[in-house]
């Protein structure tokens, strides 16, 4: 991985120092950064007008497939662009080797791409969140080592191989097991918002799949409500396993009276078919440590009460 092409399809950078610091961090690792002008755009809360951001996306069909494409940040904005994205042309360039990475609002593009074409994209680090850390002296800090190593492994070797050691308390009737299926998912709020649209992968595409989910700033009752929606829509019961990453930056209130994220997961566990395991502590989400996950790739999962391993090659 020698070149990264930046795109800004969603929210504007809140502080221009963030993308600048991210570029500096990546350059210090010997990577050449392209299309830096995109992070200077601002149109209301968005990283440029709809036309500019759509151009970012559709130009991916022409980007040198030897480059890695990385979104600058999430926020909101990609929903506006979905009907006019040139899915087939982008998928054709992915077939030539192009890899496209991001998370958060970028889940919209990843699921739309999978639904429309079956092409694989990468749920992983973004410029602002993962490469723009400054210390107290204002000096750019290196990226999280776990995140960086798995990102490089995904970009250069096109493999995912991770062992998670953490107690698993929501396995249902299967204390241990193995499954293989399409890996898909991303941000829970985004995925729930795509139900009933042509940009959510179909039941046939995801049958027996391994669904991964994460979110940020969502109270546990909202997480439970969205999971209930996916359950009642037949999506959760269509999977061979459900992997939960980070659910971060929410605040409980006095009137919750002990209701917590664990309470929400217990409610889902009771209604989900008992042969489908729910696995927790997947290192992915709005957090410093994150895997780079191939959305749409066939993936192998082995699990027991002490953790799980997840492996893929694409």
The catalytic site residues sit at: 104, 214, 286
In 128-208, the DSSP E strands lie at 159-165, 177-187
> How many CA atoms lie less than 13 Å away from 260 in the CB half-sphere?
2
What is the SS3 assignment for 119? coil
- Is 141 within 8 Å of 29 (Cβ atoms)? no
What is the SS3 assignment for 7? strand
CB atoms within 10 A of CB 275: 12
- And the tokens for 71? 């979104």
The DSSP annotation for 240-267 comes to EEEEEEEEES----GGGTT--HHHHHHH
Q: How far apart are the first and last CA of the chain?
A: 16
Measured between alpha carbons, how far is 229 from 108 in angstroms, rounded to an integer? 18
Nearest C-alpha neighbor of 82 from the set 2, 164, 197:
197
Nearest 10 degrees: CA dihedral of 28, 33, 37, 40? -40
Measured between alpha carbons, how far is 183 from 187 in angstroms, rounded to an integer? 14
């Amino acid at each position: 991985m020698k070149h990264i092409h930046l795109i800004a399809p969603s929210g504007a950078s809140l502080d221009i120092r963030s993308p600048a610091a991210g570029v500096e961090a990546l350059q210090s690792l010997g990577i050449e950064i392209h299309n830096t002008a995109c992070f200077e755009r601002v149109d209301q809360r968005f990283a440029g007008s709809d036309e500019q951001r759509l151009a970012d996306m559709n130009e991916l069909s022409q980007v040198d497939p030897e480059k890695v494409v990385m979104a600058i940040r999430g926020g909101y904005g990609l929903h506006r662009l979905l009907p006019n994205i040139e899915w087939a042309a982008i998928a054709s360039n992915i077939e030539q080797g192009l890899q496209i990475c991001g998370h958060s609002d970028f889940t919209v593009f990843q699921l739309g791409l999978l639904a429309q074409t079956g092409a694989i994209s990468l749920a992983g680090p973004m410029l602002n969140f993962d490469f723009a850390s400054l210390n107290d002296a204002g000096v750019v800090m290196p990226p999280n080592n776990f995140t960086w190593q798995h990102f490089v492994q995904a970009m250069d070797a096109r493999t995912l191989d991770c062992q998670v050691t953490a107690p698993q308390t929501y396995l249902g009737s299967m204390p241990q097991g193995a499954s293989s299926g399409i890996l898909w998912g991303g941000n829970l709020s985004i995925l729930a918002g795509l139900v009933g649209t042509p940009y959510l992968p179909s039941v046939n595409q995801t049958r027996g799949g391994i669904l991964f989910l994460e979110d940020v700033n969502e109270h546990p009752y909202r997480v439970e409500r969205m999971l209930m929606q996916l359950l009642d829509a037949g999506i959760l019961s269509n999977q061979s396993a459900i992997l939960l990453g980070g659910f971060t930056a929410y605040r409980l209130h006095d009137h919750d009276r002990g209701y917590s994220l664990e309470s929400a997961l217990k409610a889902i566990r009771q209604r989900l078919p008992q042969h489908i395991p729910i696995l927790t502590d997947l290192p992915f989400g709005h957090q410093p440590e994150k895997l780079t996950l191939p959305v749409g790739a066939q993936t192998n999962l082995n699990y027991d009460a002490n953790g799980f391993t997840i492996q893929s090659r694409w």
